[in-house]
Amino acid sequence: MADLYPSLTQCAVVATAFKILLFPAYKSTDFEVHRNWLAITHSLPVQEWYYEKTSEWTLDYPPFFAAFEWLLSRIAQYVDPAMLVVQNLGYDSWQTVYFQRATVIVSEFVLLYALSRFVKSVSQDNQHLAHIASLSIFLSPGLLIIDHIHFQYNGFMYGVMILSMVLARKQSTLLYSGITFAVLLCMKHIYLYLSLAWFVYLLRAYCLDPRSMLRPRFGNIFKLGVCVLGVFGAAFGPFAHWGQLLQLKDRLFPFSRGLCHAYWAPNIWAMYSFTDRVLIPLAPRLGLPVKEDALSSVTRGLVGDTSFAILPEVTKEHTFILTLIFQLLPLVKLWFRPDWETFVGAVTLCGYAAFLFGWHVHEKAILLIIIPFSLIALKDRRYYSAFKPLAVAGHVSLFPLLFTAAEFPLKTVYTIFWLVLFLYVFDHVAPVPERPRIFLADRFSLLYLTVAIPLIVYCSLLHQVFFGLNRYEFLPLMFTSSYSALGVVGSWVGFMVVYFTA
């Protein structure tokens, strides 16, 4: 480990200093969301946490994350007690800002620990590759934009996820992997998107005999079942006792939201929505019927409850079926080949399926794909070729989260620097694959990368020069989302080929 330079610790020190400088930067409504959760968990008894609605930003994360907020509030009371008053909506004293920003940095050291465990878990010959991948995750522009500027705690929770994946590497720690993932689910329910991969892998590798799937290990089944049920019992048991499970369900799963988020996440539905908008002016020539009542929705570009003017409507059932189908495909291979690299590939593909086909997907969920994929992106050049357009598309798609002028140089310069540095390093260290590479996938990656910089320049600068402020605001968002969606879909198709031919 001594020859791995720069070390994770050294990078963490420099990154922390940089993140502290960002304390006064733009913060989204998510900052107020978490301040309000601090106030709720500090000021009210547990029975009232999921009923409180003074603010529109009600508590909608599972109980373990609420407990995490409660722990933070124990410290916050000594920093600025006013931030813990539920009625102080929008409160953002400098003490509050600095405290909440600092908690994101401190909690992210869970990610640092998990990545160090990941590097140590691989063979000596491949530790330099694991180290490079770990640095790319810890210094990710996605985490910088979402956590340290926009404001969330993703680094902390992805650290728990990676730790669970590292624990899944050895037979002796598979049980702890299951327990850790159960804890993660009780902190943020978005990880349910990945849960089928853990379920299949633990069932096949831990609960059944590796040499014969017809020979169950009843002792292991009992231990895993008791531990996982114990975790969920600790999280949800009190609320079941108080008869509040339906209230938790309504808070955690607000299915009343529309198909697309306000800014389209770069997925299949972004491409579907873009196609619908392109067809609107062409409809009279093509003889296509137009739903007049949908035009007010589709011409805004910022879509809440989405309606389509030309194409058929998409229902929750459609998205659920498509997501399930495209998650089951990689799980079939995982069932018959329950090794660690296949497991990480299945986790990644479950993330792809949920992101590409899910209902009301947020662009921030792209990290569900990027982070697990990063762990195996340097397995060989075929994996790297599939990862490259995802790295570009996923990070560019986050740019609209920071729409203020002051953050424009920061997000663009840092992201471009990260892409140039790590893609250059990845390109030089990725091993030559045993199987032949895919010519079309390589050419797609190259072509896709050449378009990224002109698109960023147009959407961030030239659009306002051509059209002025506040005119056709939907165009840059639509172009960014549709371009990013093309990259994510192309990456998904490329990795599906690699996964099933590896």
Q: Distance (Å, rounded) from C-alpha 60 to C-alpha 250? A: 9
How high is the pLDDT of residue 77? Answer: 96
- Read out DSSP for 224-259? HHHHHHHHHHHHHHHHHHTT-HHHHHHHH--TTS-S
* HSE-up of residue 476 (Cα within 13 Å, Cβ side): 25
Q: Model pTM?
A: 0.93
Do 366 and 355 meet the contact criterion of CB atoms below 8 Å apart? yes
* 3-class secondary-structure state, position 208: strand
Do 449 and 392 meet the contact criterion of CB atoms below 8 Å apart? yes
How high is the pLDDT of residue 442? Answer: 62
pLDDT digits (tens, 9 = 90+) for 360-399: 888 899 999 999 999 999 999 999 999 999 999 999 899 8
- Look over the chain and give the mean of its residue pLDDT values, rounded to a whole number: 89
Do 359 and 319 meet the contact criterion of CB atoms below 8 Å apart? yes
**Tokens standing for residue 181:** 């993932």
Q: What is the mean pLDDT of residues 64-68?
A: 98
* 314 CB-contact burial (10 Å; exposed 0-12 / middle 13-18 / buried 19+): buried
To the nearest 5 percent, what fractions of the chain are helix, strand and coil? Answer: 70, 0, 25
Omega before residue 6 within 30° of 0, cis: yes
pLDDT band (50, 70, 90) for residue 299: very low
pLDDT digits (tens, 9 = 90+) for 104-124: 999 999 999 999 999 999 999
% of the chain residues with pLDDT over 90: 70
Q: What are the residues facing 216 on neighbouring strands? A: 208
pLDDT digits (tens, 9 = 90+) for 413-444: 999 899 999 999 999 999 988 776 665 666 66
Distance, first Cα to last Cα, the chain:
29
Q: Distance (Å, rounded) from C-alpha 320 to C-alpha 305? A: 17
pLDDT digits (tens, 9 = 90+) for 231-274: 999 999 999 999 999 999 999 987 666 677 656 788 998 888 88
Q: Which residue has the tokens 């908008």?
A: 277
